[in-house]
Amino acid sequence: MKYGRPDEEFMKWKWKPDGCDLPVFDPYEFLEIVRGKSMAFVGDSLARNHMQSLICLLSRVEHPIEAHFNGSKYVSYNFTIARFWSPFLVKFKEENSDLFNLYLDEFDESWTNYIDKFDYIVLSAGHWFRRPAMYYENHLLVGCNYCKIPNVTNFWITYGYERAFRTAFKAINTLENYKGITFLRTFTPSHFENGEWNTGGNCIRQRPFKRNESVLEGMNMDLYMTQLEEFRVAKVEGKKKRSRFRLIDPTRAMLLRPDGHPSKYWHWLPENVNVNANNDCVHWCLPGPIDSWSDFLFHLLKMEGQTFHFRSWNYLSYNFTIANYWIPSLVKTEEADPDGPTHTGLFNLYLDEVDES
């Protein structure tokens, strides 16, 4: 295995919802669903991690070529994936390696200026908000997080987190030409034990937690609930403008996977040399638990009433074609109020209208 991780058990465990089954990711059907479309991952290095996982899953069908915006294009399907680096989702400046200026009410134009060209946005952010930062609103310093500067109000982490997501959602809802679907991928906790990332913390477990062995609490719970509330508000606001928001919620599923991180195996370590390197208990091994995020995404895309599902197989020697059309209700169908990857949602069926797909 790359970088020498000796165990493989972490690849054999998979999250399953209670009372139902989550469809297995089908790369052929996924690419048919997104044929002729484009998808942008916006966020930090975990957004990149998710995008890399999806590319690996799709490699069974096709390997992409390089495209704009740090992206990849699947030529046979005219489908493009792109990545926008925006760890705080809002405008920011790095004062030095230990301090950032966050402009909580200003758009990060490195992605907001281009996002209306995409059919799907997968938005996420989280771990960078634990870094020391100065908070600005209306061009004025209003406080900070972990800054320890005299006469500057120190806010709890959710102050900046809440406002950053509020601004990011506002940016999307004010786009005149954006007609796509925005997916919020919720925060996934790290699993450092015996310290933090810079104080010797590691994640050497080789099995998942049991259901009640780990609880979402403290800062992790605060960040998660903050995301859900801002998502709820943005979704309500978006309905006024016919913007569509969907929730990819792997938070509790990933909480149970301390075994799925690279730990010290995120790079090569020289043999017989005592190297004091940080361990990675934030990102996820590939393949590994992160692949379930694409299961959720795939399921949500399938649930979209406007989505046309079609697959075909051609026997060239016999000039014979088999085709499959996904039309679950046989008539025109729209999903009225989807609630996430583990809920059924509510559908509108137009019983006297033909499904023109």
Annotation marks residue 357 as catalytic: no
Query: Do β-strands 38-43 and 79-85 pair in parallel, antiparallel, or remain unpaired?
Result: parallel
Catalytic residue among 44, 108, 249, 280: 280
Q: Could you count the other beta carbons within 10 Å of the beta carbon of residue 63?
A: 11
Contact 201, 281 (CB under 8 A): yes
Annotation marks residue 280 as catalytic: yes
CA-based nearest residue to 127, from 12, 47, 211, 217: 47
Contact 185, 292 (CB under 8 A): no
Q: Please state, in angstroms and rounded to a whole number, the distance separating the CA atoms of residues 282 and 126.
A: 11
Q: Please state, in angstroms and rounded to a whole number, the distance separating the CA atoms of residues 81 and 118.
A: 9
Q: Please state, in angstroms and rounded to a whole number, the distance separating the CA atoms of residues 241 and 245.
A: 11
Q: Give me the phi and psi of 314, to 5 degrees please.
A: -115, 125
Q: Give me the phi and psi of 57, to 5 degrees please.
A: -65, -35
Measured at the alpha carbon of residue 55, what is the angle toward residues 208 and 267, in degrees to the nearest 5?
Answer: 60
Annotation marks residue 44 as catalytic: no
Q: Please state, in angstroms and rounded to a whole number, the distance separating the CA atoms of residues 322 and 308.
A: 17
214, amino acid identity: S
Catalytic residue among 26, 45, 116, 357: 45
Residues 6+ apart with CB under 8 A from 161: 125, 126, 129, 223, 226, 227
Buried b (16+ CB within 10 A) or exposed e, 127-141: bbbbbebbbbeeeee
Catalytic residue among 191, 283, 292, 294: 283
Three-state secondary structure call for residue 266: helix
What is the set of active-site residues? 45, 280, 283
